């Protein structure tokens, strides 16, 4: 299996679960830059269960497109890579789409940008399906591509668990 088949095969399983429940999905991505959405849209017919993807790489985009409160993103707030922010991102993705299910990813893929509190490879992912809201912090290793791919896989695996 090539490195791109696994995300697509996971996305196909997510799609089957969404279709069975007649649900639509929205994504809100930062460090993955649309890779979760790309895995989903690689599947023919995904428009039956995928509504839209928000690529909100900048803090300004997170505020404008997903209604993430500015206080979360300010210097004295928890920051873009935090539980609070990814939960706000999923809420914003649902509020600004037709979807009832959302996944959000925000992290530090590297090679720069890390800090002692949030080293390179720190990624927060959140999932939401109506009242079920869950966020989890991951610490991935490897280069930028490895961190981003691990984030995509974790996002899709979390969706499978959410929809189980």
Q: What is the CATH number of the domain that holds 38?
A: 3.90.950.20
How high is the pLDDT of residue 33?
98
Whether 55 is covered by a domain: the verdict is yes
Would you say residue 47 lies in a domain? yes
Q: Looking at the 3D structure of the chain, how many domains does it have?
A: 1
CB within 8 Å of 164: residues ≥ 6 apart: 17
Within a domain: residue 145?
A: no
Express each pLDDT in 23-40 by its tens digit.
999 999 999 999 999 999
Give CA–CA dist 145/121, Å, rounded: 11
User: Is the residue at 123 inside a domain?
Assistant: yes
Residue 50 within a domain: yes
The parent domain of residue 40 ranges over 5-20+29-139+150-162
Is 126 contained in some domain?
A: yes
Span 83-124, pLDDT tens digits: 999 999 999 999 999 999 999 999 999 999 999 999 999 999
Q: Is residue 53 part of a domain?
A: yes
pLDDT over 70 (residue 3): no
| CA distance linking residue 93 with residue 67, whole number of Å | 9
144 domain residue, yes or no? no
Residue 23: C-alpha distances to residues 51, 90, 102 (Å): 10, 15, 10
Reduced to 3 states, what is the DSSP secondary structure of residue 163? coil
């Amino acid at each position: 299996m090539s490195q791109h088949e696994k995300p697509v095969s996971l996305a196909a399983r997510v799609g089957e679960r969404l279709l069975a429940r007649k649900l639509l999905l929205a994504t809100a991505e930062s460090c993955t830059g649309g890779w979760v959405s790309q895995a989903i849209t690689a599947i023919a017919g995904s428009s039956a269960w995928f509504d839209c993807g928000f690529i909100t790489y900048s803090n300004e985009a997170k505020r404008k497109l997903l209604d993430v409160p500015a206080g979360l993103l300010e210097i004295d707030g928890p920051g873009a890579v935090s539980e609070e922010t990814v939960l706000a991102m999923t809420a914003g993705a649902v509020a600004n789409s037709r979807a009832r299910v959302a996944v959000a990813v925000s992290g530090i893929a590297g090679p720069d940008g890390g800090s002692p509190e949030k080293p390179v490879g720190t990624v927060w992912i959140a999932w939401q399906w109506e009242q079920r809201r869950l966020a989890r912090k991951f610490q991935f290793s490897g280069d930028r591509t490895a961190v981003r791919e691990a984030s995509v896989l974790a996002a899709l695996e979390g969706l499978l668990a959410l929809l189980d």
